[in-house]
Amino acid sequence: MTTTYGPLTSTYGTLHGKVALVTGGSRGIGAATALRLAREGADVAVTYVNGKEAAEEVVRAVEALGRRAVALRADSADADEAAGAVARAAEAFGGLDVLVNNAGVGVLGPLEGLSLTDVDRVLAVNVRGVFLASQAAAARMTSGGRIITIGSCMAQRVPGPGGTLYATSKSALIGLTKALARELGPRGITANVVHPGPVDTDMNPAGGPYAAGQAAMTALGRFGTADEVAATVVYLAGADYVTGAEFSVDGGHSA
Ligand code: NDP
């Protein structure tokens, strides 16, 4: 029997015709995800706060792949902007199929040193902004919608002191994801959370002072790349029968 395969390169990827919004898409994991989504055929909106030029570079890279792209300034810590970005992306491209809740901030340090401002800021960006964007996206998505949230290996395993605030915020995303899966499942919309391990970005450079210790905590003994996380996000964007699940992309940090 002869099996016939299609062309190795295709104009139509698995996400052809889909519209995606990636929060915090100007650099790091968000930028890598935006590019991977575009390579699979999606039009992509990215949000940013300070990195206007970096976000515009991502837009140009997506457009070079033949897809539509837009950069939206939207602070996830601001309730109106977090929900508004979803509306703006949907208006720009005529709907929304994939939301990637990626924007996040990390404040690590001893419990006694964390201020109320730190607590409010981290919870506003990492939890409230994700909640509001997911709520706004769910109101617009139809069957086939995908909500993919970037958690953290620190939601699964806290390997040392200093992680109270960050781990609190990222653990909340597990409950949110499971509850979204239950609530939106009947409408054919899925929700999943991806937990990166140490990934080489501005937030956590592989050459940073704590990098060697983090790499040693993984089974693979190294940092991951933003693209390695993006690959799992893109898989989930195209997966029909996966919801309410946690995916560790952490080199075995949680093993
Ligand atoms: P980076 O710091 O490299 O990039 C953060 C991105 O988020 C930037 O695009 C930034 O935009 C944007 N951003 C920051 N604050 C806000 C905000 N208030 N509103 C909207 N956008 C914002 O981070 P990473 O790529 O490393 O992290 C991405 C996600 O992965 C985060 O949720 C993080 O917690 C998580 N993660 C990262 C790990 C790592 O080791 N790197 C490990 C585990 C989880 P701008 O440039 O405009 O500031």
Cβ of 27 less than 6 Å from ligand 1:
yes
How confident is the model over 109-139, as pLDDT tens digits? Answer: 999 999 999 999 999 999 999 999 999 999 9
Structural domain boundaries, residue 132: 19-249
Domain count, the chain: 1
State the pTM of this model.
0.96
Query: Does residue 11 belong to any structural domain of this protein?
Result: no
The ligand 1 atom nearest the CA atom of 125:
18
Confidence of residue 53 (pLDDT cuts 50, 70, 90): very high
Q: Is 10 part of any domain?
A: no
Residue 49 forms part of a structural domain: yes
pLDDT band at residue 177 using 50, 70 and 90 as cut-offs: very high
Atom of ligand 1 nearest to the CA of 151: 44
Residue 123 lies in a domain: yes
Task: Report the mean per-residue pLDDT for the chain.
Answer: 95
| Residue 14 domain flag | no
Query: How far from 240 is each of 64, 113, 143, 144, CA to CA, in Å?
Result: 28, 44, 10, 7
Q: Report yes or no on 184 lying in a domain.
A: yes
What per-residue confidence (pLDDT) applies to 10? 46
Q: How confident is the model at residue 164 (pLDDT cuts 50, 70, 90)?
A: very high
Flag whether pLDDT at 9 surpasses 50: no
76 CA: nearest ligand 1 atom:
19
Region 183-200: mean pLDDT is 98
Task: Summarize the confidence of residues 168-190 as an average pLDDT.
Answer: 98
End-to-end CA distance of the chain: 43
- pLDDT, position 5: 54
Q: Quote the pLDDT of residue 228.
A: 98
Least trusted range by pLDDT, from 5-14, 120-129, 154-163, 217-226: 5-14
Tens of pLDDT, residue by residue over 39-50, are 999 999 999 999
Is the per-residue pLDDT at 64 higher than 80? yes
On whether the CB atoms of residues 246 and 177 are closer than 8 A, the answer is yes
> Looking at the predicted structure, is the pLDDT value of residue 100 above 80?
yes
41 to 18, 87, 101, 142, 143: CA distances (angstroms):
7, 21, 19, 19, 19
- Catalytic choice (5, 12, 166, 210): 166
Residue 254 CB–ligand 1 contact under 6 Å: no
As a whole-number percent, the residues of the chain with pLDDT over 90 amount to 95
pLDDT above 60: residue 11: no
Statement: residue 8 has pLDDT above 80: no
Which is more confident, 9 or 177? 177
The Å distance, Cα 55 to ligand 1 centre, comes to 13
Has residue 2 got a pLDDT over 50?
no
Residue 16 pLDDT more than 60? yes
For residue 41 and ligand 1, the question of a CB distance below 6 A is answered with no
The CATH number of residue 47's host domain is 3.40.50.720
What is the pLDDT at residue 12?
A: 61
Predicted local distance difference test score (pLDDT) of residue 13: 78
Q: Is the CB of 30 under 6 A from ligand 1?
A: yes
Q: Does residue 24 have its Cβ closer than 6 Å to ligand 1?
A: yes
CA of 202 to the centre of ligand 1 (A): 8
